[in-house]
């Protein structure tokens, strides 16, 4: 393995381009000015932009298993902290398990379903109205962010070692960021109550990622999430970007909302924990 930069020929290969949308967040990482990228020039690329962010590992399909030791060594080099979460193709995860890689925590694993939208679908009408959150609704948004983070299995570990006050402070900080984000929106019902929230981010690879989609428990099943995702996806398409998103493959309700808005299956990745031993 060797250290490379974003101009390396591997990023121009057909193998890499084939996974362009599946690994849409990878593009952001390799273009970060602090990016550290390692590769053998053919089978794998592992990158991160800072020690406090999650590394991403991209392997080509049917990668050369003789390179597995190199990949394991790269993981060891990248894991500065005691514990982190990696994202990769399932093929790599399975290979690490079969090789008895000692740092894998098998208890924290789930599949990320990648979806993309090329054409919007009409959603069922409801009383939902697109809007921006108001300053006095800061605590409401913070509560929704907390609920969202604890729903996502890979995010629960972010809070596991923190006190309730630290969790509240982090959620309030995230709330400030979201409420100042021009691409953060809420959906209100006929009573002017926020029933759903989401945002989207534009990446350098011409994709727009929908994220932070959350609907309150009592308002689910009313097509609110589908309507909000539909509206944000429409904005992304109007800017001539490709709308993409990642979701927990084992949660059919949210996935149905995305499908109702026009998203289709684009493959899957896995997220799993690595613990230094």
**pLDDT tens digits, one per residue of 209-238:** 999 999 998 999 899 999 999 999 999 999
Give the containing element (helix H, strand E) for 97: helix 90-98
Looking at the fold, whether 75 and 23 belong to one and the same domain comes out as: yes
| Nearest residue to 101 (alpha-carbon basis) of 81, 82, 73, 79 | 73
Looking at the fold, whether 208 and 161 belong to one and the same domain comes out as: yes
Looking at the fold, whether 166 and 204 belong to one and the same domain comes out as: yes
Looking at the fold, whether 68 and 184 belong to one and the same domain comes out as: no
> What confidence score (pLDDT) does residue 161 get?
58
Contacts of 263 (CB under 8 A, 6+ apart): 115, 116, 117, 229, 233, 243, 245
CATH number at residue 235: 3.40.630.30
Mean of pLDDT values over 172-191: 94
Looking at the fold, whether 163 and 41 belong to one and the same domain comes out as: no
pLDDT over 90 (residue 193): yes
| Nearest residue to 115 (alpha-carbon basis) of 233, 255, 270 | 255
Looking at the fold, whether 135 and 36 belong to one and the same domain comes out as: no
| Nearest residue to 261 (alpha-carbon basis) of 241, 221, 233 | 233
Cα separation, 106 vs 121, in Å, equals 38
Distance of CA 191 to the CA centre of its chain: 32
Is residue 193 a part of any domain in this protein? yes
Residue with tokens 């939902």, as numbered in its chain: 128
Is residue 59 a part of any domain in this protein? yes
Cα separation, 233 vs 244, in Å, equals 9
Mean of pLDDT values over 21-38: 78
Per-residue model confidence as pLDDT tens digits over 110-148: 888 889 998 999 889 999 999 999 999 999 999 999 888
Looking at the fold, whether 150 and 227 belong to one and the same domain comes out as: yes
| Residue ranges making up the domain that contains 138 | 129-261
Longest CA span, the chain? 61
Mean of pLDDT values over 148-153: 66
Domain finish residue from 82, 113, 144: 113
| Nearest residue to 13 (alpha-carbon basis) of 36, 42, 37 | 42
> What confidence score (pLDDT) does residue 154 get?
41
Looking at the fold, whether 152 and 222 belong to one and the same domain comes out as: yes
> What confidence score (pLDDT) does residue 109 get?
85
> What confidence score (pLDDT) does residue 5 get?
87
Q: Which residue has the higher pLDDT, 157 or 114?
A: 114
Count: domains in the chain: 2
C-beta atoms surrounding 49 within 10 Å: 18
pLDDT bucket at 156, cuts 50 / 70 / 90: very low
């Amino acid at each position: 393995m060797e250290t490379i930069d974003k101009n390396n020929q591997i990023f121009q290969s057909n193998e890499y381009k084939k996974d362009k949308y599946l690994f849409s967040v990878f593009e952001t990482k390799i273009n970060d000015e602090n990016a550290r990228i390692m590769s053998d020039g053919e089978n794998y690329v592992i990158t991160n932009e800072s020690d406090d962010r999650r590394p991403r590992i991209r392997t080509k399909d049917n990668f050369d298993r003789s390179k597995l030791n190199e990949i394991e060594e790269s993981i060891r080099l990248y894991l500065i902290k005691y514990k982190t979460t990696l994202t990769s193709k399932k093929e790599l995860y399975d290979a690490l398990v079969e090789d008895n890689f000692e740092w894998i925590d098998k208890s924290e694993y789930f599949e990320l379903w990648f979806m993309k939208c090329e054409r919007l679908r009409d959603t069922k009408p409801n009383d939902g109205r697109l809007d921006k959150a108001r300053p006095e609704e800061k605590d409401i948004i913070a509560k929704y962010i907390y609920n969202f983070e604890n729903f996502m299995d890979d995010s629960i570990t972010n809070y596991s070692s923190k006190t309730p006050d630290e969790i509240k402070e982090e959620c309030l900080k995230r709330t400030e960021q979201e409420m100042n984000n021009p691409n953060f929106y809420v959906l209100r019902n006929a009573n002017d109550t926020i029933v759903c929230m989401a945002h989207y981010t534009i990446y350098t690879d011409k994709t727009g990622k929908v994220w932070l989609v959350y609907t309150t428990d009592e308002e689910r099943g009313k097509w609110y999430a589908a309507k909000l995702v539909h509206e944000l996806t429409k904005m992304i398409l109007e800017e001539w970007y490709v709308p993409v998103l990642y979701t927990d493959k084992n949660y059919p309700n949210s996935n149905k909302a995305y499908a109702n808005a026009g998203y289709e299956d684009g493959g899957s990745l896995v997220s799993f924990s690595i613990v230094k031993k």
